[in-house]
Amino acid sequence: MQLWHARIDTTALGYPYLRVLPSRTDDGGSDVGKDLEKLAARVRKVRADTMQRHVLVCTDDDCSKGAKRAKQMRKRINGQRLREQVTVTKVGCLDICAKGPICVVYPEGAWYHSVDKATAERIVDEHLRDGELVEDAVFLVNELR
Per CB under 6 A, residues contacting ligand FES are 58, 60-63, 93-97, 100, 102
* Cβ-based neighbours of 86, under 8 Å, separated by 6 or more: 47, 51, 52, 53, 54, 55, 77, 128
Nearer to ligand FES, 78 or 114 (CB): 114
Nearer to ligand FES, 100 or 127 (CB): 100
Q: Give the nearest distance from C-beta 70 to ligand FES in angstroms.
A: 12
CA dihedral for 95, 99, 103, 104, sign (positive or negative): negative
Nearer to ligand FES, 36 or 91 (CB): 91
**Could you count the other beta carbons within 10 Å of the beta carbon of residue 128?**
22
Q: Give the nearest distance from C-beta 138 to ligand FES in angstroms.
A: 15
Q: CA–CA separation, 61 vs 98, rounded Å?
A: 11
Q: Give the nearest distance from C-beta 101 to ligand FES in angstroms.
A: 7
